[in-house]
């Protein structure tokens, strides 16, 4: 495989990246742009698909130019993307409307209504209902935007849409589809009963044929070759949605570790052979050909920090220097530094569906840094809530949490994760772990390794270890209990505040 490189296109809800990796798993180039999302109403988060296409192709050209890698030396391309959300093509396979991101909340009321009947479909999909799942969004569009609904020709997940841009192929990778409440986990196929449950049976005609992650399913077409500089015919895999990519990129292929992604979403997973029984907040999806990914997640992670920093900044911006100062402060202080509690619900909740972000416990002497530290802690509390859900569904306790995402760039935040959750934390060498997962998949798909475990062992390496501090854990445990009491006290209040917010946006 000498001289072979892997191009990974990672379409995230906040940023989108074109990354190049070599066969050793080393990242040798990246071009990043802000995902061009639109928020015309508080609960809606859409994406300009034509703008995203242009920016993505420019990023591919840039990373090739930046690294000097010849397009002929790219052995394979893998697309990675956020799960859930909705990306549509029209009847003639054209872009005809905006995409919908996974943090969109327009269908919250619908999702709550469907969830009251979850026993009807959980034995089929082993998924709870979330507002950003494709069939829920399709039903919302059917009810509120019938002209848009009637114009649909194809339904995609994020990374399947990106693959379409490169190849013109109409496919949907099965792991992504299973996380979108579209797949019968036993038959590994679409199930008409699921679409009927959501009241969108006619959508069956719009669902692409299913493909496996590690299969070569398409090749770069002439148009994409012309616009990106890639070689026509370059192989493209089925790809991975970001949860699977982060799990694979962290080397979490057995039951000894949990995978944690701390980015826009708090995503916490482990792998097993069979779906877990129905439990509140636990989701199951297909991972590659023989495993089930057990997941507890919500959009409650490190995306909160960047937004709060912008709100607290006189310029309305954040900077690298801000993060350096914060890291220094985190190293100097501990669990006693602030008693302010923060609920990290700017983009959604793992509590009441109507819950919103809030600071509780401010006093006349509260400082900006105490507020910011409360955000750091609140994000980890949300992760702990999900980890506790996973532990209740599991038969063994993991040896470590392998964490990737934006929060993993802060050693002090990683120590806080270990101290609050009480489980050792590991980080992986490299900054783009979901991209690394795509590179491991590409290496395996092109025949470089006999199995994924061999590829992962060769390309993935632990960077840092963080052991829980017993004294800090006890203090944080008390604070976490207060956090839980706060959430219980606000249960039922959020809906009234949410209604007021919606009235204020009209």
Residue among 169, 165, 155, 160 at smallest CA distance from 207: 155
Q: Is the confidence at residue 3, as pLDDT, over 70?
A: no
Q: What pLDDT is stored for residue 489 in this prediction?
A: 93
Task: Decide which of 66 and 280 is more confident.
Answer: 66
Q: What letters, b where the CB count within 10 A reaches 16 and e where it falls short, cover 162-178?
A: bbbbbbebbbbbbbbbb
Please tell me the predicted confidence (pLDDT) of residue 506.
47
- pLDDT at 1 (0 to 100): 40
Residue 412 counted as domain residue? no
For residue 14, the model assigns a pLDDT of 78
Instruction: Specify the pLDDT at position 30.
Output: 97
Residues contacting residue 417 through CB under 8 Å, at least 6 positions apart: 260, 262, 380, 383, 401, 403, 407, 425, 466
State the pLDDT confidence band at 502, using cuts at 50, 70 and 90.
low
| Pairwise CA distance, residues 263 & 184, whole Å | 29
**pLDDT above 80 (res 455):** yes
Predicted local confidence at residue 503, as pLDDT? 54
Range of the domain at 119: 5-242
Q: How many angstroms separate the CA atoms of 76 and 6, rounded?
A: 5
For the segment 241-276, what is each residue's pLDDT rounded down to a tens digit?
888 999 999 999 888 899 999 988 899 999 999 998
pLDDT interval class at 288 (50, 70, 90): confident
Tokens found for residue 21: 């990796």
Confirm whether 397 is domain-assigned: no
pLDDT at position 504 is: 52
Structural domain total, the chain: 1
428 lies in a domain? no
Across residues 55-82, what is the average pLDDT?
A: 97
- Poorest-confidence range of 36-40, 60-64, 137-141, 378-382? 36-40
Distance CA 445, CA 166 (A): 18
Q: What is the mean pLDDT of residues 404-429?
A: 95
Does residue 387 sit within a domain?
A: no
pTM: 0.86
**What does DSSP say about strands 46-47 and 37-38: parallel, antiparallel, or unpaired?**
antiparallel
Of 35-39, 150-154, 161-165, least confident by mean pLDDT is 35-39
| Residue 252 falls inside a structural domain | no
Q: Is residue 224 part of a domain?
A: yes
Reply yes or no on whether the pLDDT at 281 is more than 90. Answer: no
160 in a domain, yes or no? yes
Q: What is the mean pLDDT of residues 345-350?
A: 90
The closest alpha carbon to 304, from 372, 388, 242, belongs to 372
> The domain that contains 232 carries what CATH number?
3.30.420.40
Mean pLDDT of 51-59: 96
Q: Which residues contact 414 (CB under 8 A, 6 or more apart)?
A: 403, 407, 408, 425, 427, 464, 466
Q: Say which residue, 42 or 52, is predicted with more confidence.
A: 52
Q: What is the mean pLDDT of residues 353-357?
A: 89
Average pLDDT of the segment spanning 181-201 = 97
With a cut of 50, say whether residue 2 has pLDDT above it: no
Residue 5 pLDDT > 70: yes
- pLDDT tens digits, residue range 207-238? 999 999 999 999 999 999 999 999 999 999 99
Give the residue-averaged pLDDT of 119-124.
96
Is residue 229 domain-resident?
yes
- Summarize pLDDT for 304-330 with one digit per residue, the tens: 999 999 999 888 888 888 899 999 999
Mean pLDDT of 400-411: 93
């Amino acid at each position: 495989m000498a001289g072979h490189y892997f191009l990974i296109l990672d379409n995230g809800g906040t940023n989108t990246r074109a990354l190049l990796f070599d066969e050793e798993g080393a990242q040798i180039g990246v071009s990043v742009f802000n995902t061009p999302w639109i928020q015309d109403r508080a609960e809606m988060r859409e994406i300009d698909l034509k703008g995203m296409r242009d920016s993505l192709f420019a990023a591919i050209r840039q990373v090739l130019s930046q690294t000097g890698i010849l397009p002929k030396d790219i052995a394979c391309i893998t697309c990675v993307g956020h799960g859930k959300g909705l990306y549509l093509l029209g009847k003639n396979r054209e872009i005809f409307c905006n995409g919908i991101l996974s943090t969109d909340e327009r269908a919250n009321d619908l999702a709550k209504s469907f969830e009251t009947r979850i026993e009807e479909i959980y034995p089929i999909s082993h998924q709870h209902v979330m507002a950003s799942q494709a069939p829920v969004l399709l039903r919302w569009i059917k009810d509120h935007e019938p002209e848009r609904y009637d114009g649909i020709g194809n339904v995609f997940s994020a990374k399947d849409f990106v693959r379409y841009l490169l190849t013109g192929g109409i496919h949907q990778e099965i792991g992504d589809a299973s996380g979108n409440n579209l797949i019968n986990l036993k038959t590994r196929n679409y199930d008409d009963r699921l679409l009927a449950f959501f009241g969108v049976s006619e959508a069956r005609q719009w669902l692409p044929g299913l493909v496996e992650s590690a299969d070569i399913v398409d090749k770069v077409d002439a148009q994409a070759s012309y616009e990106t500089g890639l070689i026509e015919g370059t192989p493209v895999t089925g790809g991975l949605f970001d949860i699977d990519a982060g799990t694979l990129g962290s080397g979490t292929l057995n039951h000894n570790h949990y995978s944690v992604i701390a980015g826009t979403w708090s995503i916490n997973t482990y792998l097993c052979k069979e779906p877990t029984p129905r439990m509140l907040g636990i989701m199951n999806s297909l991972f590659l050909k023989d495993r089930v990914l057990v997941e507890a997640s919500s959009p409650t992670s490190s995306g909160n920090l960047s937004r709060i920093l912008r709100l607290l900044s006189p310029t309305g911006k954040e900077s690298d220097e801000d993060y350096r100062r914060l890291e220094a402060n985190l190293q100097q202080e501990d669990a006693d530094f602030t008693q302010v509690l923060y609920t990290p619900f700017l983009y959604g909740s793992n509590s009441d569906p109507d819950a919103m972000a809030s600071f509780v416990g401010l006093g006349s002497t509260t400082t900006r840094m105490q507020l910011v530290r409360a955000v750091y802690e609140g994000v980890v509390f949300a992760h702990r809530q999900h980890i506790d859900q996973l532990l209740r569904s599991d038969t063994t306790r993991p040896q470590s949490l392998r964490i990737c995402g934006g929060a993993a760039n802060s050693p002090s935040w990683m120590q806080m994760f270990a101290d609050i959750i009480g489980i050792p934390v590991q980080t992986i060498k490299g900054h783009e772990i979901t991209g690394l997962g795509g590179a491991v998949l590409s290496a395996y798909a092109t025949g470089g390794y006999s199995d994924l475990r061999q590829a992962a062992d060769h390309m993935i390496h632990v960077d840092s270890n963080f052991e829980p501090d017993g004294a800090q854990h006890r203090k944080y445990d008390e604070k976490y209990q207060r956090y839980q009491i706060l959430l219980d006290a606000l249960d039922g209040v959020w809906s009234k505040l949410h209604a007021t917010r919606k009235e204020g946006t009209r």
